Amino acid sequence: MATVNFARSLATTLEFEGGFSHHPSDPGGATNMGITHRVLADWRGRAVSVADVRAMPRSEAAAIYRRLYWELCACDELPAGVDLAVFDYAVNSGVRRAMRTLQQSIGVTPNGIAGHRTVSAARRADPAGLVRVLCSRRRGFLRQLAIFSIFGRGWLRRVATVETRALSLAAAAPKPPVSQPANKELPEVNLTKTILESRTVWSNIVGMSALAASLFGIDLGVTEQSGLIDAAMKIVAGVSFVASTVFRVKASKAIG
């Protein structure tokens, strides 16, 4: 799905369109680089002669192909590989037929117009699989033509080449990033440390101890209770620090 694919696709198409020809069995009449007499006349907005078709420069042919085929098929927005398969089909058999075949292949109403739904559905499809389906349907259409006996062998060779190169483009295209599922696991919490470091918990413990002591005639004042709470919390903090340090030292040795 890149603009640079136009040049590659055009090069492939021109290999089969060749130069000037005026075959009596070709319904397009005088043709040069695949551009027919009628298409050139429409492009220039005036009548053209066979000599005009013969003298058409390659730059003009490239401009015609980009505007009247590549862009009308929205190839810049199609997946790599699919763009080539659709473009060459459009050049060989017409834009509307190529687009209808694409739409039929991806389950979109076949109206022959490259709209948002068509592009979105093509992007969701597997590029390699879609290329194969497009080329298979294209072969089926060509075999039904009355002049298949004359041009059929060359047409099938062309489709085979386009399919091979389109599959290569699809395989070489960068894959979209795969989103990683969010880690919903809750972080580990040291509940023991949290409880023992709670002043409320120690207040309750000391309070209960003071109540028990009072039963034996020992009176612990508020000041003494507060001191006991502070002392207990300092002891817990110290033990926790020593334990964590020992654990880290052991872990470092194990890793080493």
Region for residue 116 given its phi and psi (left: phi exceeds 0; alpha: psi -120 to 50; beta: otherwise): alpha
Q: Is the distance from CB of 170 to CB of 134 less than 8 angstroms?
A: no
pLDDT grade for 18, boundaries at 50, 70 and 90: confident
Asked which of 15-29, 141-155, 181-195 is least confident by mean pLDDT, the reply is: 181-195
Distance from C-alpha of 114 to C-alpha of 69, rounded to nearest angstrom: 11
**Confidence at residue 54, expressed as pLDDT on a 0 to 100 scale:** 95
Select from 3.50.50.60, 3.30.750.24, 1.20.141.10, 1.10.540.10 the CATH code of 5-172.
1.20.141.10
Exposed, middle or buried by CB within 10 Å (0-12, 13-18, 19+), for 151?
middle
Summarize pLDDT for 80-118 with one digit per residue, the tens: 999 999 999 999 999 999 999 999 999 999 999 999 999
pLDDT average, residue stretch 199-227: 53
**What pLDDT, on the 0 to 100 scale, is given for residue 191?**
42
Distance CA 40, CA 64 (A): 8
225 or 173: which carries more pLDDT confidence? 173
The pLDDT, as a whole number, for residue 105 is 97
- 18 against 53, higher pLDDT: 53
CB 12 within 8 A of CB 75: no
pLDDT over threshold 50, residue 192: no
DSSP helix/strand/coil, 100: helix
pLDDT at 216: 58
Q: Tokens representing 41?
A: 């006349």
Integer Cα distance of 179 and 173 in angstroms: 18
Q: What pLDDT score does 175 carry?
A: 75
Q: Comparing 3-7, 101-105, 106-110, 147-151, which segment has the lowest mean pLDDT? A: 3-7
pLDDT band at 29 (very low <50, low <70, confident <90, very high): confident
More confident residue, 56 or 192: 56
Half-sphere exposure of 65 (CA within 13 A, CB side): 27
CB 88, CB 80: distance < 8 Å: no
As given in the structure block, the two tokens for residue 236 are: 């817990």
- Is residue 188 predicted with pLDDT exceeding 60? no
| Mean pLDDT confidence for 73-81 | 97
- H/E run at residue 31: strand 31-32
Q: Is this structure's pTM higher than 0.75?
A: no
* Higher local confidence (pLDDT), 256 or 172: 172
Q: How confident is the model at residue 222 (pLDDT cuts 50, 70, 90)?
A: very low
- pLDDT of amino acid 23: 73
The confidence score (pLDDT) of residue 72 equals 97
Could you tell me the two tokens for 162? 């386009």
pLDDT at 144 over 70: yes
* CB-based contacts of 155-159 (< 8 A; 24+ apart in sequence): 155/92, 158/16, 158/88, 158/92, 159/135
pLDDT value at residue 22? 80
Annotated domain spans of the chain: 5-172, 191-255
